[in-house]
Chain A
């Protein structure tokens, strides 16, 4: 037990000090000391878990150390095994190179005689090495040499990332996340070859031991945000995580709210765009849905496509979406309020047409609308659950046939069918499924309120919703930012979507460490610098 403390040898101590010194202040080039170089690379890659660092000894010569550095997700392991490991560990000995190889010539010999890889590059720049490794190359470092060989080992095998079917876009990447964490990490790495992209892996779930990775760009994301997020993840104590939905609900600020405070997406491009804004992403092994935090309400009617299309059309479409979402929230309530409480608001001819159509309907307007709304929800649920090709058919059959028959039988008035249909279509126009759900749910209380107090009731409902939404936070970021607290610079990407040259600033409400994503335009030297934020 009581081990005797061995005095540290002076040589070891100096090596240790030297290493520490170098790590403290990383140089731009390799040092030539394998141990130090590997540590250096490890540090620069933020000890990310998908980076493999392999150390072994060249099988011939005077015990020369070799280090391999590669990104696990991006390389073809067979190439590494057969064309790098095998020659260096095995063939070297078989070729009787013992006498020839020394620390001085090993590098050249390995390069010229041993590696059976087509494309190699030689460099001593750390930047180039990192870039290569993050793009699927394998860096081969030899002890005593201040150069590294970058061997092309690119090749990632994964389930062909299929097109995301929840968040479809017209223009934009067609790739969606798969169920494999490491593949998903690859999808992100491939788009963001930034060594500062930090991937923290942790295991959550006492029994499931699910791998969860927290991604952020280390010199962008606010340290406070990352600390908070990490803390919340660590606080999770549960037997198993099956989907990212578990994590979402376990870490969000208010679980009772109908509004999601964490964005979920199956699009790697969306994740990368958000990482670049200084947000953090959480990838969960076993699910194609990544989480993005912090999220603000505005993001739930933004689609990644908005940023790829021309700004005019993107702005227009955002307005349309907003309109559609407003419809899906309020239209049935407004319909009830107008026809049951304030018919004088309607144009006379329309009022007469509605009254004429309703004169034979047995139910009260409220009940009629309620029944129809519920039927549409039932139809939607049924068409989601039904297998493949039948689903849409049922939707059409149910919608058209039932609706037409109901109108024909005089149970439902045609205008109700129209209103309900517009409502249903409106709720599909939201690019975020979870964002649309909150509106679908809140529609019902609003309908009740409208049926009790007419227009006044709707306003009461909307006020309550505003109070609630304004009180929400997503990891300390006000949910209604950049509207409240208002931030002028943020309005460029809120309802409006200005052209890219205007987006020189990152959204400041999430407090990125570096607020500028492109050089400041001239004449923009003082405004927009320090936004007036509420205290935390």
Chain B
């Protein structure tokens, strides 16, 4: 009577389950979903934090997602700010203010103010790292103003404010205008000794967000910022296959001669150790199209195109060199992850030197090759 026993076991288990109760059952609408979290320094308390949360109001969300006919007229989210010495205590305080337990499983955005990040970002992240619900694919962004301000922003472009920011970020990332730097990516860079973390910076401007550039970190401390223009160059130099515009100026008048759009970029990092001295050559290769030609440069000749390519290459290499100088001299943090190459290719050298001291002085040379592929619908 084996099946009898199986069935009896099944029934017994069922009974046990029902007597034991359902410890973790909590229907989705009985959880307070926090869609975005902002972290600022507490203006009143030097050591304290100010945590801002965007809480979904389900019966008002109805109309904004899924095409449900129901849904109230009120705002779909509520922005609540709490203060506390740590993330955990602040969220605990928040939990006391809402009617259901806090649920971080759908948090899409973690915004941290520059001020707070400059003091050290790791203490702000550890809570989320240990939390099982918090999703690793949330975006981590740094804002120069206050995170509270960023989260309070509402845009007519999307009924749900956190989705407006999220979709903006994703669209930028799809266009290769920003690196994909989500929570997980940040943490892995942070935890790898041969890498340095970076984070995208966004600024609230009225009812819009504006790309502010890239925050550069030295381990957990934010040490500086790349402007949006520098961010483009950074993308060419990292593995992100970045895209972007280069304007070539007429040498005499300073007018824009023509604009070249990089559609695809790639780079190779060559390393060399000579006499215990390390040097890098970054071999940059880009291809793209001419998208605007206000200077009416004659394009109808292969030789001219070649010459233009050379000018573009020189300009690109110069801009890269400038950015690298800024990173080496000013930021002094290896956000290009060059040490990863040293670790992989020269393990003994890497073991022997202290890379963070070596980095600002190491020789880095950029070579650029540019290809003009297409001219658009005009011949000249």
Q: How far is the CA of A358 from the CA of B28 in the complex (A)?
A: 8
Least Cβ–Cβ distance between B218 and chain A, in angstroms: 33
Tell me whether A352 and B61 are in contact in the complex, defined as CB-CB below 8 angstroms, given that A256-B3, A445-B14 are known contacts: yes
Contact call B68/A364, Cβ cutoff below 8 A = no
A356 touching B18 by the CB < 8 A rule?
Answer: no
Verify if B237 is at the interface (C-beta below 8 Å from A): no
User: Which of B7, B27, B33, B61 is in CB contact (< 8 Å) with A365?
Assistant: B27
> Is B133 in contact with A356, judged by CB distance below 8 angstroms?
no
- Residues B26 and A340 in contact, CB atoms below 8 Å apart: yes
Interface-forming stretch among A184-192, A207-215, A231-239, A343-351?
A343-351
A178 to B349, CA, bound (A): 88
The segment out of A17-25, A128-136, A372-380, A465-473 that lies at the interface is A465-473
Stretch of B102-110, B316-324, B356-364 lying at the A interface: B102-110
Is A353 in the interface zone, CB < 8 Å from B?
yes
Q: Which of B3, B14, B62, B64: most chain A Cβ within 10 A?
A: B3
Chain B residues lying within 8 Å of A428, measured Cβ to Cβ, are none
Binds B, one of A63-71, A106-114, A149-157, A451-459: A451-459
- List A290-329 residues whose CB lies under 8 Å from chain B: none
Interface centre among A344, A353, A414 (most CB of B within 10 A): A344
CB closest residue in chain B, given A442: B10
Known: A350-B66, A353-B66, A359-B59. A343 touches B18 (CB 8 A): no
Chain B residue with the shortest CB-CB distance to A343: B28
| Contact residues in A for B25 (Cβ distance below 8 Å) | 340-341, 364, 366, 451-452, 454
CB distance from B170 to the nearest CB of A (A): 13
Would A351 and B68 count as touching, CB distance under 8 A?
no
Most A-side CB within 10 Å, residue of B22, B26, B59, B62: B22
Give bound CA distance, A352 to B68, whole Å: 11
Closest to A350 in B: B66
Interface residues of B in 104-144 (CB under 8 A from A): 105-106, 108, 133, 135
Any A CB within 8 A of the CB of B371: no
A340 and B2 contact, CB distance less than 8 A: no
Chain A residues near B377: list those with CB within 8 A. Answer: none
Whether A448 lies near B59 (C-beta < 8 A) is no
- Chain A interface size range: 35 or more
Partner of A471, one of B3, B28, B35: B3
Asked whether any CB of chain A lies closer than 8 Å to the CB of B65, the reply is yes
Chain B residue at minimum C-beta to C-beta distance from A255: B3
Query: How far apart sit A348 and B17, CA to CA, in the bound complex (Å)?
Result: 30
Quick check: A356 and B27 within 8 Å, CB to CB?
Answer: no
Which chain B residues border A358 with CB–CB below 8 Å?
Answer: 27-29, 58
A352 near B58 with CB under 8 A, answer: yes
Contact between B106 and A343 (Cβ–Cβ < 8 Å)?
yes
Q: Which residues in A have their C-beta under 8 angstroms from that of B17? A: 448-449, 452-453, 457
Do residues B33 and A351 form an inter-chain contact, with CB atoms below 8 A? yes
> Which single member of A340, A346, A467 contacts B27 (CB below 8 Å)?
A340
Q: How far is the CA of A343 from the CA of B58 in the complex (A)?
A: 14
- A255 to chain B: closest CB distance in Å? 8
In angstroms, how far is the closest chain A Cβ from the Cβ of B145? 26
- B66 touches which of A349, A361, A454 (Cβ 8 Å): A349
Show 21 residue pairs from A and B whose CB-CB distance is below 8 angstroms, ordered by the A residue: A254-B2, A256-B4, A343-B33, A349-B65, A351-B33, A352-B33, A352-B56, A352-B65, A352-B106, A355-B56, A355-B58, A356-B59, A358-B27, A361-B29, A364-B25, A448-B14, A449-B14, A452-B22, A452-B25, A464-B9, A471-B6
Shortest beta-carbon contacts, A-B, top 4? A344-B105, A353-B66, A356-B62, A452-B17
Which residues of chain A have a CB within 8 Å of any CB of chain B? 254, 256-257, 339-341, 343-344, 346, 348-361, 364-366, 414, 445, 448-449, 451-454, 457, 460, 464, 467-468, 471-472
Given contacts A353-B65, A357-B70, 20 further A-B contacts (CB under 8 A): A257-B3, A340-B25, A341-B24, A343-B106, A344-B103, A352-B106, A354-B29, A355-B28, A355-B31, A359-B62, A361-B29, A364-B25, A366-B25, A448-B14, A452-B22, A452-B25, A457-B17, A464-B10, A467-B6, A471-B2
